[in-house]
Amino acid sequence: MKTVWISDILNGKHDGQKVELKGWVKRSRGSNKIRFIVLRDSTGSIQCVAKRDSVGDECFENIKSALIESSLIIHGEANPDERADGGYEIIVDSVEIVGPVNPETPFPITESAMAAADGGETEFLLDNRHLYLRTTRMTTMLKLRSTVFGAIHSYFRDLDFIEYQAPNFVAGAVEGGSTLFEVPYFGRKAYLTQSWQLYAEAAMPALERLYTIAPSFRAEKSRTRRHLTEFWHAEMEVAWADNQEIMSYGEGVVRKIAGSLLDERSEELASLGRDLDVIGRYADSKYPRMRYDEAVETLQGLGVEIEWGQDLDYSKEKILTQDFDVPHFLTHYPKIAKPFYHRVDPDDDKYVLCHDLLAPEGYGEIIGGGERTWSEEEILARIDEEGTPREPYQFYIDTRTYGGVPHGGFGLGVDRVCSWLSGADHIREVIPFPRDSRRVTP
RNA sequence: GCCGAUUUAGCUUAGUUGGUGGAGCGUGGGACUGUUAAUCCCAAGGUCAUGGGUUCGAGCCCCAUAAUCGGCGCCA
């Protein structure tokens, strides 16, 4: 007999047919004469009804013994039925328990554990993440996440970008050295990469338009809802592009992600309580661009204490973005607030040609990017100015020595985008096994 | 790194002025012919995070430690 997907039954594709279902027990209830099993597979869940009279005593007792998360193969007839949640149910002919659950070790993710988390997480659920993944909420998050990754790939590939991979073991830092994970490397020290960018710049003269989605690692002891020590970083680099052009790619990919979620996952978004009109606005709007100076003035006008030259920390981002209804770009930060690879604005050397994209609803920065310092003379000056050693960056400097060209790119925090668009309370909710300063297990 | 909080059964929790810890979920047994987190009855299940201290007596008061959670800095 043909195994069918539960979603296909719920879509009415098997009305009145004898079908085989393979899945796991989501819930089980009933009396001495009739038993209801809510079976789930990766596509959905459906009520299966077994009557003692029709399945026989032995099968009925078997069904009663199938605890939550037992895996089953069920044969039966698919029928529309108003009494069943979802409008369809299976009239059971037979049940085979494939993987039983021992009553002495029942599935630990109970209703009470879920209710306490209130759509978020608790220590217990984090400790049992490998099992929590099976719940509707986590499954929904993982499906949204898959769509986000797919949308990023489609966006860049449709524009003829080349997907390009950089090493994860590296010798030097992109950001400040204090946030590097050091790993022993055959008697030497190596580090886990913080960004694909420097290696992408090396390939920029060869491929011109390149992108990746890869993990980045940062040893920040951050305890916030926006930080992970291992996060998924979508980065891109383009030859001959200026800051404005790079921003248009950033806007393009975020709009594409929002649009793909609406097209492919509107049901899941709605189940999380997401307003589809809001997601639609993110997919269809232009994202305004604002200079750093303007942001500082706005904040000062709101009575926020901030001096020119200070980087915008989260508390200020939050105030700034609270009235935004779409993401905004912030450009032209002071040179002193940014690392050496940002290109100094030729019109005013107090600034660099960079941008951050700030998401609304209090989610903050999701993209950081800009033009790169591209002439050999300038890159050497800026490296020395910051007191950064030249040696680990020799390959990076060589990129400029041999036919340097204007170029730029950005990095997008994929998990942050997932968190924002799904409306999650914490970035941990959108990644299967989150890593932060306190947790590397399970 | 800084600030704040939490820790009682497998899970979620109540616990009064300090006087030998109650419940719900889950599990086991029983009842029930259609349930929707089914319902009803019964049972098992606790060194109250760890280590000290105060006290005739500590889940409760004090100190230390640990783990965890939240916020900040830093960033994607």
Per-residue confidence (pLDDT) for residue A172, from 0 to 100:
66
**Residue A95 confidence (pLDDT) above 60:** yes
- pLDDT average, residue stretch A104-128: 85
Per-residue confidence (pLDDT) for residue A176, from 0 to 100:
53
Distance A286 CA to B26 C1' (A): 51
Identity of residue A364: G
Superfamily of chain region A136-430: Bira Bifunctional Protein; Domain 2 (3.30.930.10)
- The whole-angstrom separation of Cα A251 and Cα A288 is 10
- pLDDT average, residue stretch A111-124: 81
- In chain A, where does the domain assigned CATH 3.30.930.10 lie? 136-430
Closest CA to A49 of A62, A61, A34: A34
Distance A272 CA to B59 C1' (A): 39
A234: which nucleotide lies closest, measuring CA to C1'? B76
Distance A315 CA to B64 C1' (A): 35
Question: Which of A29-43, A314-328, A380-394 is most confident?
Answer: A29-43
Distance A138 CA to B26 C1' (A): 21
| Eight-state DSSP code of residue A30 | E
- In chain A, where does the domain assigned CATH 2.40.50.140 lie? 6-99
Q: Residue A136: enclosing H or E segment and its boundaries?
A: helix A136-158
Per-residue confidence (pLDDT) for residue A398, from 0 to 100:
93
**Residue A340 confidence (pLDDT) above 90:** no
Per-residue confidence (pLDDT) for residue A339, from 0 to 100:
85
**Tens digit of each residue's pLDDT (9 = 90 or more) over A345-379:** 999 999 999 999 999 988 989 999 999 999 999 99
Per the model's pLDDT, the better-predicted residue between A124 and A208 turns out to be: A208
A6-99 carries CATH number 2.40.50.140: yes
Per-residue confidence (pLDDT) for residue A123, from 0 to 100:
85
In the block, tokens 């939550």 appear at A68
**Tens digit of each residue's pLDDT (9 = 90 or more) over A208-266:** 999 999 999 998 888 889 999 999 999 999 999 999 999 999 999 999 999 999 999 99
Per-residue confidence (pLDDT) for residue A386, from 0 to 100:
80
**Residue A174 confidence (pLDDT) above 80:** no
In percent, the amount of chain A with pLDDT more than 90 equals: 73
The answer for A416, left when phi > 0, alpha when psi is -120 to 50, beta otherwise, is alpha
Q: Which nucleotides of B are covered by protein (CB under 7 A)?
A: 1-2, 10-13, 24-28, 31-38, 67-76
Distance A268 CA to B33 C1' (A): 36
Instruction: Name the residue with the least CA to C1' distance from nucleotide B10.
Output: A108
